[in-house]
Amino acid sequence: AQKVTQAQTEISVVEKEDVTLDCVYETRDTTYYLFWYKQPPSGELVFLIRRNSFDEQNEISGRYSWNFQKSTSSFNFTITASQVVDSAVYFCALNSGYSTLTFGKGTMLLVSP
Amino acid sequence: DVKVTQSSRYLVKRTGEKVFLECVQDMDHENMFWYRQDPGLGLRLIYFSYDVKMKEKGDIPEGYSVSREKKERFSLILESASTNQTSMYLCASRNTGEIGDNSPLHFGNGTRLTVT
């Protein structure tokens, strides 16, 4: 069985603040893939990043960065200098073994001007 | 760019009605999925299909069925709609036929269904 926990239900920040969204996962498989998706108010989930279990290198893409730590089974997502357009629901997801994608319950991020 | 199109953005139906939610993708993807999204519960998988004519139950298939007669189209059917099926329904597709594959999903905009 696989599980994804996003403990933060809702986060509110003021523009330009940095914010970290937590994701903790559980799986018995040694090969697995982790994802982050963004769901803006329009409703469509947008793929942000995919990371496999053999690549623990952190990744940075503009204001976005991801910290993957197998030792703590975490795949956290940080937005630097947040903007109003970052307001959305963010989902972490896990795909391992012969199962389909399992999503966390999502974290709603509200960035105020 | 991959486009996943869900036929209706908003839908209101009465209890007991048969409801069809349609989803079409334009990138020849093999796999297609139906999820429902509810506050506090995240996304839950209803049904998925690895290829034409194939279907597999997800985590919450009760009260639903699906149809995949053509590769590009995946329909979700509520045989007799009930109020607890009021939800946001999301269709997704991806380009592989393998279980446990890591290809990202491409989502439609969702259909918000209200059953009264």
Which pLDDT value is given to residue A43? 87
> A42-89, pLDDT tens digit by residue?
888 999 999 888 888 888 889 999 999 999 999 999 999 999 999 999
Q: Model confidence at A17, in pLDDT bands (50, 70, 90)?
A: very high
Tally of CB atoms within 10 A around B96: 13
Q: Supply the pLDDT for residue A48.
A: 94
Instruction: Output the pLDDT for position A16.
Output: 97
Note the pLDDT of residue A98: 63
Residues of A with CB under 8 A from a CB of B: 9, 33, 35, 37, 42-47, 50, 52, 91, 95-101, 103-106
- CA-nearest residue of chain A to B92? A45
Tokens of A32: 């697995």
Query: What confidence score (pLDDT) does residue B43 get?
Result: 93
Longest dimension (CA), chain A: 44
Question: Among A31-35, A83-87, B60-64, where is mean pLDDT lowest?
Answer: A31-35
Report whether pLDDT(B103) > 90: no
Geometric angle at alpha carbon B32, from B30 and B37, rounded to 5°: 160
Report d(CA B51, CA B20) in Å as an integer: 20
Q: Is-contact B93 B33, C-beta < 8 A?
A: yes
Collect all residues of chain A within an 8 Å Cβ-Cβ radius of residue B107: 37, 44-46
Compute the count of residue pairs across chains A and B with CB atoms less than 8 Å apart: 51
Our CA-based measurement puts residue B71 at a distance from the nearest CA of chain A, in whole angstroms, of 19
